[in-house]
Amino acid sequence: MKLNEIQDLIKFVAKSGVSEVELETKDVKIIIRTPASKNREQIYVQSSSPQVLPVQALQTQEVFKSPEVKTPEVKVNAEDNNANYITVKAPMVGTFYRSSSPDKPLFVNVGDDIIPGKVTCIIEAMKLFNEIESEIKGKIVKVLVNDASPVEYDQALFLVDPS
């Protein structure tokens, strides 16, 4: 299938108002889905042969758009900023968990003492559950992320009072 044929198909789907079109040939499988708002298209192209289609050549709006993931905003009180707290940050991107399973106790709570080597949380990345161990000694003052929330690299997870 040629690039201009794919472009014509995208334009046709956008004008027709259909929500999904699937086209499969011996070389290429194309799925075009339009959400209810009709302002964004999702296009998936699978090829059985090692063929690459240039994305820049497809002159459509937001052809390959990944879903936006919003992380919860966490606000720290001004009185918390006055103390000399240490921020424990996420060493990787993934999903933050406070316990090893829903029926198990939390690794740490506010007020708990931690020492280097103590597991404070788990971050799941690509189906791997990584135990995050403390590198400092102190007391947990605040948990900054909700359980089962996505976290980014270097995102603040805990505030710790080192004294």
Rounded Cα distance between 31 and 125, Å, is 28
Residue 35 is predicted with a pLDDT of 62
CATH 2.40.50.100 positions along the chain are 78-161
Q: Which numeric CATH code is attached to 78-161?
A: 2.40.50.100
Is the CA virtual torsion 12, 18, 23, 28 positive or negative? positive
Q: Could you read off the pLDDT of 35-44 as tens digits, one per residue?
A: 654 444 455 5
Residue 72 is predicted with a pLDDT of 41
Q: Could you read off the pLDDT of 131-158 as tens digits, one per residue?
A: 999 999 999 999 999 999 999 999 999 9
Is the Cβ–Cβ distance between 95 and 69 less than 8 Å?
A: no
Largest interatomic CA distance in the chain: 67
Instruction: Look at residues 14, 67, 21 and name the one whose alpha carbon lies nearest to residue 39.
Output: 14
Stretches in the chain below the pLDDT threshold 50: 37-41, 47-76, 78-80, 82
pTM for the structure as a whole: 0.50
